[in-house]
Structures are given as C-alpha cells and as structure tokens.
Amino acid sequence: MHTLDGVTPGQQTKALGASTLAFTVCFAVWTIFSIIGVKIKQDLGLSDTQFGILVATPVLTGSLSRIFLGIWTDQFGGRRVFTVVMLLTSIAVFLLSTVSTYPMFLLAALGVGLAGGSFAVGIAYTSKWYEKERQGTALGIFGMGNVGAAVTNFGAPFLLVALGWERTAQVYALILFVTAICFFLVTKEDPATVLRKANGEKPRGALMQLEPLKKLQVWRFSLYYFFVFGAFVALALWLPRYYVGVYGLDITTAGMLAAAYALPGSIFRALGGWMSDKFGARSVMYWTFTACVAVCFFLSYPSTDYTVQGIEGPIAFNITISLPVFVALTIVLGFFMSLGKAAVYKHIPVYYPDHVGAVGGLVGMIGGLGGFILPICFGVMNDVIGVWTSCFMLLFGLVAVALAWMHFAIKRMEARLLGERQVPELPEMEELHPPLVGAPIAAGSRTARDGQVAPGAAPATP
C-alpha cells in the first residue's frame, strides 16, 4: 500500500497531465501504420493478409511488453521507465524510414510497438498519485491518451501527402524524442517509489508481482479488455483501409473518418472513469456490451440485393449501409468502447493496489493482443470469405460471448451469495445485496473502502 501524505493537488494534476500527454504521443506512434501502411501496401503490392500482419505487428510488441514494463514500473518507478520506453521507441520509428523490404518493415514494426507498452507504465504511475475514490476518474483521464489514434488518422494523411511516408516517420520519431525529454524534466517519481526508497526497502521480485495472476478474476477482466481495447485498436488500424476499399475514398478522407471513430473512443474514457466511480463498473460494462452487440449486428450485415416475386413481376431492392450511417454507427461503437475501457481498469487498483503494474500489464497485454490478432483475422477473412463486413461479423460474435460470459459469471456470484450469505466479490454488487449482519465484508468492496462495516461484521483485511 502507498501513502499520499504530503502530495498536493497540483502535484497530482502535473503527474496526470504529463503522463496523459506522453501516452497520447505514444499511442499516435503506435498506430502510425494505419496510415503509412496503406502507402506501403501499394508500394510493395501486399495482400490484405500481409497488410493486416503489418499493421498488427507493432500491437504485438506493445501487448507483450506491457506485463514486464508494468512490473518494472512497480519496481523502479514510472518516471524512469516511461522515459526509457519513449526514447527507445523514437529510435525504432526513425529506423523505420530506412527500410524497404517487407521482412524489414515487420522487424522495424516490432520496435515501434514498444510505444504501446507505455500504457502499463502510465497506469501504474498515475494510480499511485491518487486515492482509491478518485482512481477511476484519474485513470479514465489518462486513458484519453487513446486519442493518439485519432491524431494519427487525422494528421498523418496530410503529412503523408506533403512529405511522403519516410519523412512522416521521421517527424513522429522527433516528436516522441522531445516528449520523452520533457516528461523526464517535468515529472517527479511517484509517492510509493519515493517512500520505498526513503525506507530502504527493496522492490518486490517479479514472481511476487505475478502472484495475483493466479486469480480467475484477473483473466476475466482481460477478456473484457480484449474487446473494448483490442477491437478498438484493430478498427482504428483497419478502418482507413475499409473506407478506401468499400466506399472508394481517398486516404485523406478515409483517415479523417477513421479519426471520427477513434476520437470518441478516446476522449470519453474519462467519462467512463467517472461513471464507474459513481454507478459502478459492472453497470457500465453491461451498458457497453449491450450497445456494442447491437451496433456490431447492424455493421456486420453485408450489402445485399434481394428479388421478390411481386404481383406484377419480380421486385428488386438493395440493403446497404450508406456512408453517413456507417460513420455514425462507428462513432457510437467507439463511444461505448471508451466507457468499457475505463470500467475494466477501475477494478485493478481497488483489488490489487500493490500489484497495479503486474495486473494492469496482463490485462493490457491481453487487450493489446486483440489489437494484434484481430487485424490479421480481418485480412484473412477478406481474402478467404470475400465479404468486407466479415470483420464486424467477428466482432459481433466476440462481444456477444463476452456479454454472456459476464452475465452468467455475475449470476453465479449471486447464487453463491444466497447460498453462503456473504457479500459477492464485485464491489458493484454490494448495492444489490447489502452486507448482512455478521457477514464478512469482501476485501476491496465499497463498504470496506469507506471504512464502514455492518454491525458485528469483521473489518476487511487489506
């Protein structure tokens, strides 16, 4: 556990603002292939499958790196780890502009992917500056750094047209390098790391950090994040290609419309954090999954021609989602994904305050793997099935499974509550089932966090 004694609101705001800005730049770099990848695809004559692998490769590194970057953040402090990650990534992005073959592009893309690992660093660093009652909102604001995808989708096409993809990569590398230096100069180490060093305590070993990963609850959160974040990243990467292929748009227009999806999928994450603090993360996850099931169902319906036998002969008609309707549906999808991303991460510092880096890293890793796997699946499904909307068919099935799994898991916990007469594990369910007299309070529950216990009840253990 960490203490916030002596931490001022100004210090909290500075840490949150600096980490959010740094994460925004990192996320913009992480999704750079969504724009320059279209030009590279044309230059190298790549198939949709090869293109999917190219845009997804940075996501692989960014995902796998999150778990050990999160552990290192808990051990050595987020200020140093965040700075090193940005410096190394800026070098990889610059080297990207020097390669010319597909295998070398994939190798360079692995280095670019380190930018995505910054999420686990920022989550651990930011959470340690805030008390539990405000962590949902703070982490939601930090998560707004996802807007970097919109920045790339909106701004990179203009750089691409004006400078070419090589110079675009170099500009991104320079911006990231400057951001790393500014972040290190502006920020301070988090209170937990400062206190540990002052007391002469050694950081916990990696095996101790990974201990909470044995809990099924952690993997349940990971599944949710696979959709709300992984699918978000996948679509942010895929939509420019989708707009060009389906609606015949130029890359600049396609990038701007893709930014219209990525923008609400990022900026409303702060709202999702606030709603999770106020209404409970469980409720927000229900709203998210229900809305996404409906939207993905409509987006998955392919353009179809019908012919029916009328009284006076055949009647032909067509069902097609027009461009304005498609754009509107993607904006709605991005909005609810942003709420879900914040809701998932609301739980982690509450349940695992001393393992935020490790647990947050694993959840982020699984979510990031969604951003790696799904674009490849989109490309393969295009090549094999030959239907553009097959990507949304896949997302519909994924979110439907996630909604069903979450619902039945909660039902099982309710049944256990009735059988064992105790508060369920999720704090959000406490409002449905108030603590009974003499019943134990679940560790991390809202009642326990507020220091309130039922008469005769034992206080929660930390």
Give domain limits for the chain: 10-407, 421-462
The SS3 of residue 315 is strand
Closest CA to 68 of 207, 177, 269: 207
327/131: higher pLDDT: 327
Residue 104 has pLDDT above 50, yes or no: yes
Cα dihedral across residues 44, 49, 55, 56: positive or negative: negative
Task: Of 257-266, 342-351, 371-380, 401-410, give the lowest mean pLDDT range.
Answer: 342-351
Domain at 10-407: CATH architecture: Up-down Bundle (1.20)
Rounded Cα–Cα distance for residues 405 and 401 (Å): 6
Provide CB contacts within 8 A for 219, sequence distance 6+.
366
Tell me which DSSP letter residue 265 carries: H
For the segment 195-240, what is each residue's pLDDT rounded down to a tens digit?
A: 777 776 665 555 555 565 667 777 777 888 899 988 988 888 889 8
Instruction: Name the burial class of residue 335, with classes exposed (0-12), middle (13-18) and buried (19+) by CB atoms within 10 angstroms of its CB.
Output: buried
- Residue 212 confidence (pLDDT): 58
pLDDT tens figures, 142-185:
888 878 877 887 888 888 888 888 899 999 999 999 999 999 99
The token duo for 236 is 């942010």
> Are the C-beta atoms of residues 25 and 114 closer than 8 Å to each other?
no
pLDDT, tens only, 106-148: 888 888 988 988 888 888 888 888 877 777 778 878 888 878 8
Of residues 39 and 331, more confidently modeled: 331
Q: Are strands 304-310 and 313-319 parallel, antiparallel or unpaired?
A: antiparallel
**In Å, what is the CA distance from 20 to each residue of 92, 146, 148, 391, 451?**
22, 9, 10, 31, 31
Backbone angles phi, psi at 314, to 5 degrees: -60, 140
| Model pLDDT, residue 83 | 93
| Mean pLDDT along residues 319-328 | 88
Kindly report, residue by residue over 52-102, the tens digit of the pLDDT: 888 888 888 888 887 778 778 877 888 899 999 999 999 999 988 888 888
Position 241 pLDDT exceeds 90? no
Q: How far is it, in rounded angstroms, from Cα 28 to Cα 16?
A: 18
Among residues of the chain, what percentage have pLDDT more than 90?
18
Asked if pLDDT for residue 430 goes beyond 70, the answer is: no
Q: How far is CA 399 from CA 169, 228, 345, in A?
A: 34, 9, 18
Quote the pLDDT of residue 288.
93
pLDDT, residue 211, reads 62
Mind giving me the DSSP string for 376-424?
Answer: HHHHHHHHHH--TTHHHHHHHHHHHHHHHHHHHHHHHHHHHHHHHTS--
What residues are paired with 309 via a beta bridge?
Answer: 314
pLDDT at 345: 77
pLDDT in tens, 389-428: 899 999 999 999 889 888 888 888 777 777 655 544 555 5
pLDDT surpassing 50 at residue 460: no
**Rounded CA separation 152/27 (Å):** 9
- Letter for the amino acid at 201? E
For the chain, what is the mean pLDDT? 79
